[in-house]
Amino acid sequence: MHTTNIIKPLSVDSVIFGFEDDQLKVLLIKRIVDKDSGTWALPGGYIKYDEDIDVAAARILEERTGVKVFMKQLGAFGEVNRFPDKRIITIAYYALVKPRNFALSLEDDASAIEWVNVYDLPKLLFDHGIIIEHALRSLRRRVRIEPIGFNLLPNSFPLLSLQRLYESILNTTFDKPNFRRKILKMKLLIPLEEKQEGVAHRSARLFKFDKNRYDKLIDKGFSFEV
């Protein structure tokens, strides 16, 4: 990594959430450089002098994963001793993505990159565990009042997947018929002709999220709520 042209006391770290095998996961990398070797960490990097911080966050993630995603800022983490020896304050971001769209590619300074279950994390570098906790809290708050959960699912999905998604984020369970009723009543899902394939039981209808419709409803004062 080049160290010229960066703002030295500031870094960016990203919590990338994905949903895979009915589990909420986080993208982690394991570094091989210097004494951090062997510790899992959030993908991160440094901000350039002539770069907006939001842009820096997106660039760094793209460098590591090849995918451009919209990042939401979580906040700054700046305890005096969070980083050893030096005083580095990090600005954390998070994003919700579809893991299938990610072709994970290793960079020079990483020995591994993996999706890890958010409820079963390894020991993490510095305060990255705390950052993930904060991100999860923020996600839980937002996911209930904004239709952001769909960013974690494929474009078309059965209702039960959506339910499992909310259950794993909110760490709870819902009654199936009731969840179904509530979601469908919002009229935000377009029922497709397609059905599930390759399942060992009655196949479910697939739906897709209707972003257009959502925007219109919002203008009319509608508010999403799960």
At 166, which amino acid appears? Y
Tokens found for residue 148: 């952001």
According to DSSP, the residues that pair with 30 across neighbouring strands are: 40, 112
What CA–CA distances, in Å, run from 152 to 9, 46, 67, 174? Answer: 33, 27, 14, 19
By CB under 7 A, residue 158 contacts DNA: yes
Q: How far apart are CA 53 and CA 58, in angstroms?
A: 9
| Residue 144 touching DNA (CB under 7 A) | no
Tell me how far apart the alpha carbons of residues 11 and 58 are, in angstroms, rounded to a whole number: 13
Among DNA, its own copies, none, what binds residue 151 when CB lies within 5 to 8 Å by partner kind?
A: none
List Cβ neighbours of 213 (8 Å cut-off, separation of 6 or more): 187, 188
**Partner from its own copies, DNA, none binding residue 176, C-beta < 5-8 Å depending on class:** DNA
**173-192 binders of DNA (CB under 7 A):** 175-178, 180-182, 185
Summarize as ranges the residues that interact with its own copies (CB under 8 A).
7, 9-10, 47, 49-54, 73-76, 78-80, 87, 89, 91, 141, 145
Contact stretch for DNA (CB under 7 A) within 18-26, 78-86, 146-154, 196-204: 196-204
| Closer residue to DNA in complex, CB, 77/179 | 179
CB of 85 to its own copies, least distance (A): 13
